[in-house]
Amino acid sequence: MASEKQRTAPSSVAHWIAPSILSADFARLGDEVRSVLAAGADLIHFDVMDNHYVPNLTVGPLVCEAIRPHCKVPIDVHLMVKPVDRIIPDFAAAGASIISFHPEASEHVDRTIALIREHGCQPGLVFNPATPLDYLDYTLEYLDMVLIMSVNPGFGGQKFIPTTLRKLTDARRRIEAAGCAVRLEVDGGIKTDNIRAAAQAGADTFVAGSAIFGSRDYARTIREMRQQIAL
C-alpha cells in the first residue's frame, strides 16, 4: 500500500531481466522456464492475450499454474484482455506475483488496482505507445509496477518504437517525484543493442522475448544484457 512504500533512489534499484515466454517453445514450456531461470532471469513475463483487446490469443491461468512449480522467481503477468476484472482472481490463485493491465481495458482502473491487491498480488499499469501517462496522476501511489510498451501489444518480435525513451524518462520523473518504490518496466523489441538506452532513460525492469528465446545461449544473452545496463 502507499503508506508502506519506501523511498528508493534510482541508483539503488537492481535491474531485473524478465524473459517473455511468448517466444519460448510452448511444446517444451517447463524446460524452457527452467532453462531461462538457470540462465539468470529475475522474473518470468507471462503474456495473456484474448483475441479481443489484442489481435492474438495466448495462454491463461491453467498454464500459469502449470509453470508455477518450475518458477523460483516471481511470475509477471501482463494482461492484454478486456474485460480484466473477472480473470484476476484466477491468476492470483494460479500463482501470479505481479498482475499488470491496460487502463483502456478496465471500466474502473482504481477498482481493478484494488482488486489485484486484495487478491495478494502486486498491481501494475501498462501504457501503450500512444497512451499518455495521465492515468498515473491518481494511481501511482497504489502501484508496484509501471509498464511502458515499446511496441503495440499483441505480438513478439516487433521493432522498438523510439518515442518510448522519452516516455520512460517522463515516467521515471513521476516516480521520483512521488517517492514511491515503483518498478519501471519496458516491454517490446528490447535487444542487447538498445537495452542500455532504455536503462539510461529510467527503466529498471526489462522484458525480452525473441531476443532471449531466439538466441542459442540464453545465459550469454542475459549476461550481455546485464553488461550493457551496468555500463
Nearest distance from C-beta of residue 153 to Zn ion, angstroms: 7
89-97, 131-139, 172-180, 201-209 -> range binding ligand DX5 (CB under 6 A): 201-209
Decide if 193 contacts 31 (C-beta within 8 A): no
Nearest distance from C-beta of residue 138 to ligand DX5, angstroms: 25
57-65, 170-178, 187-195, 223-231 -> range binding Zn ion (CB under 5 A): 187-195
Exposed / middle / buried, residue 20 (Cβ in 10 Å: 0-12, 13-18, 19+): buried
CA distances from 154 to 31, 35, 187 (A): 24, 25, 11
Please report whether residue 156 would count as binding ligand DX5 according to CB under 6 A: yes
DSSP letters for 126-189: EE-TT--GGGGTTTGGG-SEEEEESS-TT-SSPPPPTTHHHHHHHHHHHHHHHT---EEEEESS
Among 39, 53, 209, 225, binds ligand DX5 (CB under 6 A): 209
24-32, 76-84, 111-119, 223-231 -> range binding Zn ion (CB under 5 A): 76-84
Residue 187: active-site member: yes
Q: Which is nearer to Zn ion, 47 or 204 (CB)?
A: 47
44-52, 66-74, 108-116, 194-202 -> range binding Zn ion (CB under 5 A): 44-52
Among 19, 50, 54, 78, binds Zn ion (CB under 5 A): 78
Round to the nearest angstrom and report the end-to-end CA distance of the chain: 33
Q: Report the residue count for the chain.
A: 231
Among 42, 47, 144, 185, binds ligand DX5 (CB under 6 A): 47
Residue 193: active-site member: no
Instruction: Give the one entry of ligand DX5, Zn ion, none that residue 122 binds, where binding means its C-beta sits below a cut-off of 5 to 8 angstroms depending on kind.
Output: none
Please report whether residue 205 would count as binding ligand DX5 according to CB under 6 A: no
For residue 48, the cross-strand partners are 79
Decide if 29 contacts 47 (C-beta within 8 A): no
* Residue 86: partners with Cβ closer than 8 Å, 6 or more residues away: none
Assign 122 to helix, strand or coil. strand
How many helices (H) and strands (E) the chain has is answered by 8, 8
Please report whether residue 154 would count as binding ligand DX5 according to CB under 6 A: yes
Nearest distance from C-beta of residue 77 to ligand DX5, angstroms: 11
Where along the sequence are the contacts to ligand DX5 (CB under 6 A)?
A: 20, 22-23, 45, 47, 78, 151, 153-154, 156-158, 187-190, 207-211
Contacting residues toward Zn ion, per CB under 5 A: 47, 78, 187
> Which of the residues are catalytic?
47, 187
